[in-house]
Amino acid sequence: MYLLTVLFAFSALLENANRFLLPCPFKYLTGYDCPGCGFQRSVLALLNGNFHESFQLYPPAIPILVTIAVSIAVNKWLPSRSKPVINTLFIITGSIILISYGIKIFTPHLHTASLILLPSTSVTKLLS
């Protein structure tokens, strides 16, 4: 019974979590996305089980989470050999973040592409 209550509370928290997302100060000041914009929404999508939506929102989210989990595990169980593994993971993850940011800056992404209306959509039917 206790587990069911915890799962219900977690589900209710996920449904309302969008109201508690932190705004990006970089985007607020400059009007441009920062390299981390979309991470919070991506993690929420992952927690809801929407892997495709998570990847669409912020592709480096999964590598970041894997890097954190592996770094903690390696540091706990192999402390003598953890530094090279963690440094390699950070370099790989940082590269993924920079490549993703470059693609986001120089190409239209999901938010702008979704504004294109096809003639068969209900929105265009309402407008005509």
**Digitized pLDDT (tens) for each residue of the chain, 128 residues in all:** 666 676 666 666 666 677 777 888 888 898 888 898 889 889 888 988 889 999 988 999 999 999 999 999 999 998 888 899 999 999 999 999 999 999 888 887 555 444 444 444 444 444 44
Q: Is the pTM of this model over 0.85?
A: no
Phi, psi (rounded to 5 degrees) for 117: -100, 130
